[in-house]
Amino acid sequence: MAPARLIQPPTCLDCLRRLVHPTPASPPSFLSLQTRGARSSTKAEEEDLQGIPVRLLQDIQGFGRRDAIIRVKPGRMRNYWFPKAQAEYMTRQRFKELGLTEAAIGVRDRSFGTKLLVESEDVLAEEGPKETWKSKKDTLTLPPEETLTLLETLLPPILTFSRKPIPTVSAPLSSEHKPTSTPRSPSLAANAAASTDSTAEVSTSPPTGEAASVAIFGSVSVSDILTLIRERLLEADPAQGGSVALEAEAVQIQGLEGEDRIKHLGTFEVLISAGKDLKPLVRKIEVVPEE
């Protein structure tokens, strides 16, 4: 029987060995040729199936539309999206509240937004000069003047944070302040009542004057203040509130004496800057005990 003719001679070294030294148990060499060019999942596709589930609160270019549930890296959500109120964590409780299951988790749309920008640029290039074209990215945030007006209108005068106070342990009384008993006269009867000196009583009430600062569990940082500002803006105006973009440098907490965060109960003044040439907005930060 003539050997089977191959349409194309193999170039794989392992395949050549099988042709020269076939083994009885192995199938015919022309059936065991390696299949080349088989499509496998790319690294980007594998990354899209990993990470934590989140729900987009606005359209994000390269990821998907608002309300889309996808998986992203925890660092992107923690450092970028969540502080800017662009997405929310999808926990089991959140899935239950929305009446969804984990089957609703989709895949990131890497082409979302890019196609819209290219098409709009092509249309405007035909209609007029390119200088009149304004990208979609520029319309996602408001100018500094409009941002300041929106903050003055929608942001309440006092932003309240609740923190658990750290219990303080009072110092024991020193020996010189301990109450001393008045000596009893031996001439008094055993059941006779003896008067006491009022000056021997020690007051346990706290000292008068300015009370000491009460430390708290969990400080209030600039990031916490930015998150609360975005929440208040979105509650007051869902349409315009998400268009306000503030960075950490735009918020300054006054009266911390070298600290960068609030670590005790009290009321503090914070300056919110919407632009370099604009007067900062003044608001109060109130840290109250957690009930």
The pLDDT score that the predictor gives to residue 174 is: 52
Mean pLDDT score, 57-76:
91
Residue 282 has pLDDT above 60, yes or no: yes
Q: Does domain 144-166+213-289 have CATH number 3.10.430.100?
A: yes
The pLDDT score that the predictor gives to residue 199 is: 43
Residue 61 has pLDDT above 80, yes or no: yes
The pLDDT score that the predictor gives to residue 142 is: 76
* Side chain identity, residue 17: R
For the chain, which residues make up each domain, given as ranges?
42-139, 144-166+213-289
The pLDDT score that the predictor gives to residue 81 is: 92
The pLDDT score that the predictor gives to residue 130 is: 44
Q: Mean pLDDT check: name the lowest of 124-128, 216-220, 265-269.
A: 124-128
Mean pLDDT score, 218-245:
84
* Side chain identity, residue 223: S
The pLDDT score that the predictor gives to residue 183 is: 56
The pLDDT score that the predictor gives to residue 192 is: 53
Q: Who has greater pLDDT, 77 or 117?
A: 77
- Would you say how long the chain is, in residues? 291
5-9, 70-74, 167-171 — most confident range: 70-74
- CATH architecture of the domain with range 42-139: 3-Layer(aba) Sandwich (3.40)
* CA pseudo-torsion sign 87, 92, 98, 103: positive
Strands 281-289, 262-264: pairing is unpaired
- Count of other CB atoms within 10 angstroms of residue 36: 7
Give per-residue pLDDT as tens, 161-207.
999 898 876 655 555 555 555 555 555 555 555 554 444 444 444 44
Q: Who has greater pLDDT, 119 or 19?
A: 19
| CB 107 within 8 Å of CB 56 | no
* CA pseudo-torsion sign 258, 262, 267, 271: positive
- Mean pLDDT in the chain? 74
* Side chain identity, residue 283: R
